[in-house]
Structure 1
């Protein structure tokens, strides 16, 4: 648990605080002697804080004395305690019962034991439930033992040291369950460590973890559909960082493809001076809709848009400049939302993987995995994963979102050296990612025994009418509008409680933003990730 150096550091801090307290107390007493109005209350509060510090110092001193005694008695640290990380009680108990099982039945080498929290208080704190599985494993080796006999043998081989330090009692129940009760003193030690040192991460093997989340499209505004991916992805990243993993947070922006040929062509024709006067993102979204309509209804415009795509792919300077300007406008608007939500993320759009797509297509072609289908080149996943093929190359020879995701998977494994990759998107993309992962495995891009790949899905956000969250006009709710409405309501609540009379203008703004964003994040994370939920400001 707590090391002597940890305890000494905390004691030093507390003694410094006590010295500060004494100095403040003298200053307040001087004020009191000058008949200052509310000093008695201030003195009382300081006395209260001082009492707390003295209490904590006494606990620390007793803990250090106890630690010294333990070291002298055992010649070192206690077996079940770990100074470098928060104690995982289940892991400790599993280690104890694994050793006891091995000692009782040497023929069951490395048999996986299981300890779980007790289902009811009367069964103790935890339960060892592996006797039934051990009976089956022994039977296969020609040893006949019933689970209860096995449980008795395991309990009899639990080391005396462990029993004396953390286990109050072991009770065999039913066909072979072992009810475990922990010593109150052991639990108190764990709670005391949390009180003094805070919550510490468990000990884990450090990994390189890539988390793919948020991922809005360039030239479009972020909408409420991006809320869950952004908040959940950030939460996953924070948890991985907390336990010590090397986390790469990636924003897979939609910044490449036919839509840019449409948009740039439309901009050139409608706003010849757009290179020197870049439109705002609201204008870009309107222009995008206009360009999409023209693309769907005007054959000549469609041809010009495809030519623009080719110019962009061949890195024509004028087209690249237009593309960069559009991307920059979008990124600035996205960053405003990320700043408000306190999100740290690295932009890496589809354009980053363009050169890598050629290599992926060649790899799949060389392995004979691409099938001609009405002019397209497709790849099928394993039947149990998905029956929908990936479209790797379109009839015109261009690549698709599927090609991009295959290149992305390859890059993250080979170049980023990822040990784990987590994609955070809505449930609607489940089939797509099952197909990508299966095809990646078939192509030997991904080896599941070496790299873990997960699709962390989530349900959609619904309005209070139980339908997809939209505005009254039927449009998708802009994420910026939702956040600003939350901020407005938070400010109203703070003013209702008179906080504007107690806080400075800067403090009120900080409180307003913290309350609003905290409530929105909590409201999202408190629901089951895999289920949809109804959004309500009043809640």
Structure 2
């Protein structure tokens, strides 16, 4: 099997070397916006900035045209240069058809995959991988924003499983932190007999929204909520009881959606790592990688401006604490050689900072891959991010149900079912 992006990169590398034999420029090829093509080469802009005057080019567009002129390949149906200098290509239909026919003839179940091509020629080996995806928050219903992480993550898992690679499907659910102190405070305040009569947990999102209103508007409620969060961390019996009930109710709802989507996951919530945080922080302290900002224990990145807060000033732990501990556990206990995080692009710098700390702590070597697979946000009609606390989010279960009903209606209209038996199949 051929690694397509690798071949496209080789084609552009060859053309750049023919055009500019005196300069050392590595081809930069990425996936393109599908409106314009399948792949995109970005080198013309950089070449013009560095060598434009020396090479007598008027602009980056002229550089891109020169690169195109030196491409003599039947792999592409279409090659275009934008005014800015971006080159986009479309893979030929003939190539795609022949490749699919080859897959069919070989019987894809028995394809002999060249892992060196998949690794793009580096030393990494995919033998034991972990994909961190979906990851909804306990006490909140899954919303439309969770769909892409869930589907993309599952697709990546299926690829590795197809390649016979040991694959961990991890659901890093948000089941810890200040929000639980907030909900626990709300339940204890408003339902004093909660052990005998727990509030209806089918409406967890509404419960969360009401608790958030109190937290935002009542300073005493905010202070008390933070105290309950610490108590939960210290295994207070009442706090753990409420927390357990909330987690059970949420996971039941999550599993209903995963069953519909045919998604399989292992639950490793933030709470799983809480007991392991102190020992992980000690390892980092011993390597002199942490510093204090006020009374908080932090890691200051060399590249990114936002530090990791690994222990709060009140002694509590947050997302940064559990994320770095999860990384250590996955690398040193599960012994995975690759970890792939599937989240929105807004979290890229957070994960890059975690990866940087990991490398400085010498938890990884060149054979280990730490990867963030990002995607955009689902926006509302005002082009703003949906927020659970404001009640504006579209519930994922509602989206799935509506999509199912629309598909069913369209199918019934198109195929004009002839018998009651066929009709009952779709009703069932």
TM-score (norm 2): 0.71
* Structure 1 residues 318 and 506: CA distance shift in structure 2, 3 A: farther
Count residues with an aligned counterpart.
351
- Asked if 1:427 is matched to 2:345, the reply is yes
Distance 1:115 1:322 in 2: 56
What is the Cα deviation at residue 228 of structure 1? Answer: 0.9
What is the Cα deviation at residue 505 of structure 1? Answer: 5.7
* Structure 1 residues 176 and 343: CA distance shift in structure 2, 3 A: closer
> Gaps spanning 5+ residues in structure 2: where?
23-68, 76-96, 116-124
2:401 corresponds in structure 1 to 484
- Asked if 1:308 is matched to 2:218, the reply is no
Distance 1:319 1:267 in 2: 10
Does structure 2 retain, via aligned residues, the 8 Å contact 1:410–1:446?
A: no
1:395-441 superposed Cα distances (whole Å, 9 cap, x missing partner): 11112211111101111101111111000000111111111111221
Does structure 2 retain, via aligned residues, the 8 Å contact 1:214–1:233?
A: yes
* Structure 1 residues 88 and 501: CA distance shift in structure 2, 3 A: same
SS, match of residue 309 in structure 2: strand
1:333 corresponds in structure 2 to 253
**Which structure has the greater CA radius of gyration?**
1
* Structure 1 residues 220 and 116: CA distance shift in structure 2, 3 A: closer
Does structure 2 retain, via aligned residues, the 8 Å contact 1:127–1:180?
A: no
Does structure 2 retain, via aligned residues, the 8 Å contact 1:128–1:179?
A: no
SS, match of residue 372 in structure 1: strand
What is the Cα deviation at residue 464 of structure 1? Answer: 6.5
Structure number with the higher helix fraction is 1
1:222 corresponds in structure 2 to 142
What is the Cα deviation at residue 444 of structure 1? Answer: 2.0
* Structure 1 residues 194 and 324: CA distance shift in structure 2, 3 A: same
- Asked if 1:197 is matched to 2:117, the reply is no
What is the Cα deviation at residue 483 of structure 1? Answer: 1.0
CA RMSD, aligned part only? 3.7
* Structure 1 residues 221 and 115: CA distance shift in structure 2, 3 A: closer
SS, match of residue 143 in structure 2: coil
SS, match of residue 461 in structure 1: coil
1:351 corresponds in structure 2 to 271
Distance 1:236 1:191 in 2: 23
2:181 corresponds in structure 1 to 261
Q: Which has the higher contact order (CA 8 A, sep 6+)?
A: 2
What is the Cα deviation at residue 278 of structure 1? Answer: 4.2
The aligned runs of 1:275-424 (5 Å cut-off) are 275-383=195-303, 386-424=304-342
Does structure 2 retain, via aligned residues, the 8 Å contact 1:376–1:391?
A: yes
Does structure 1 retain, via aligned residues, the 8 Å contact 2:287–2:361?
A: yes
> Gaps spanning 5+ residues in structure 1: where?
1-86, 91-113, 120-125, 137-174, 182-186, 511-539
- Asked if 1:445 is matched to 2:368, the reply is no
Distance 2:328 2:10 in 1: 44
Distance 2:358 2:3 in 1: 38
* Structure 2 counterpart of 1:238, from 153, 158, 182: 158
Does structure 2 retain, via aligned residues, the 8 Å contact 1:207–1:245?
A: yes
What is the Cα deviation at residue 308 of structure 1? Answer: 2.3
Distance 2:280 2:3 in 1: 46
